[in-house]
């Protein structure tokens, strides 16, 4: 850098001196010509005033043209240096700039707010805090039984990920959710119908206990989100596993905090005939 400045000094000094000389010569030349046009008269005619104006304008144009010609190379080098510095700054701060853009996107689109449950790529949690650079999540671990528990960890997610990853806001399932699970038993044609009836009766009993509240919440969420959710009524789908066993796939819409108890009740009802045999 110092070597560059040392080599630049003679050129700059030379251009500066040439600029001063040209400007001085043009100003003196303009003064001489204007003096000749005036001719020592106190009152100038319209023709003389026009010529004096033309001379002054031509002088200003020549000064400007001279400056451009003399300093063109230096101006180009300076512009190139500014562009190079700008590119270097953008590359060096790319992640920071993307985070700022992501923060701006979050403010405009508002895909989530504080206390919402969100999934940003592989990160799942409750939003604790947001700013222009990051989003802070209290991590949630989701397992079976539609159970969600706090892991005790806090995740700091750069807002740049909001631009490249899918953002899923599942706050509407915070209180009520669809419980999906599977019960498996060996294929027994004599008892298959009995097991199915036993499951249907237990699902009906549990659904009667929670139906009113579940339907009210399901209707409210549909109105707020405008999304067509699956029917909240419990359902059973028969199938088989890869090993040839009989599988009962169960779906039940319930309060998240009761999901574990409901699954235990349904499983107990399913196993009761086997235990009594």
pLDDT computed for residue 30 by the predictor? 85
Q: Which two tokens stand for residue 127?
A: 């939003």
Q: Which two tokens stand for residue 254?
A: 């319930």
The sheet with strand 134-142 has its strands ordered as 148-158, 134-142, 123-130, 117-120, 167-169
Residue that the structure tokens 């706090």 belong to: 150
pLDDT computed for residue 5 by the predictor? 37
Distances (CA, A) of 40 to 27, 37, 44, 218: 19, 8, 10, 99
pLDDT computed for residue 6 by the predictor? 45
C-alpha 4: how far from its chain's center?
42
C-alpha 126: how far from its chain's center?
17
User: What are the sequence ranges of the domains in the chain?
Assistant: 2-92, 109-173, 176-276
pLDDT computed for residue 277 by the predictor? 41
DSSP-derived secondary structure letter, 263: H
pLDDT computed for residue 146 by the predictor? 58
Residue 230: burial class (beta carbons within 10 Å; 0-12, 13-18, 19+): exposed
Does the 109-173 domain belong in CATH 3.40.50.300? no
Question: Which parts of the chain have pLDDT scores under 70?
Answer: 1-13, 40-44, 46, 90, 92, 142-147, 273-277
CATH architecture of residue range(s) 176-276 = 2-Layer Sandwich (3.30)
Please give the model's pTM, rounded to 2 decimal places. Answer: 0.55
């Amino acid at each position: 850098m110092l070597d560059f400045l040392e080599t630049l000094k003679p050129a700059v000094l030379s251009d500066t001196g040439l600029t001063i000389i040209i400007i001085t010569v043009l100003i003196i030349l303009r003064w001489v010509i204007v003096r000749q046009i005036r001719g020592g008269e106190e009152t100038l005619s319209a023709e003389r005033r026009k010529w004096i104006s033309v001379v002054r304008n031509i002088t200003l144009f020549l000064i400007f043209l001279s400056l451009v010609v003399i300093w063109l190379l230096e101006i180009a080098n300076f512009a190139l240096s500014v562009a190079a510095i700008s590119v270097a700054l953008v590359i060096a701060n790319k992640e920071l700039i993307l985070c700022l853009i992501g923060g701006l996107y979050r403010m405009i689109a508002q895909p989530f707010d504080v206390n919402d449950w969100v999934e940003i790529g592989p990160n799942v949690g409750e939003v604790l805090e947001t700013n222009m650079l990051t989003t802070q999540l209290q991590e949630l671990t989701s397992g079976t039984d539609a159970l969600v528990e706090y892991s005790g960890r806090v995740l700091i997610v750069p807002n740049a990920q909001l631009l490249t990853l899918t953002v899923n806001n599942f706050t509407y399932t915070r209180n009520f959710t669809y419980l999906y699970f599977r019960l498996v038993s060996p294929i027994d044609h004599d008892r298959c119908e009995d097991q199915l009836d036993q499951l249907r009766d237990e699902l009906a009993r549990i659904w009667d206990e929670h139906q009113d509240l579940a339907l009210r919440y399901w209707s409210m969420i549909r109105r707020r989100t405008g999304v067509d959710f699956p029917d909240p009524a419990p359902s059973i789908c028969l199938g088989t596993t890869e090993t040839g066993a009989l599988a009962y796939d169960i779906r039940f819409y319930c309060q998240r905090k009761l999901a574990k108890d409901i699954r235990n009740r349904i499983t107990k009802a399913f196993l009761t005939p086997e235990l009594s045999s």
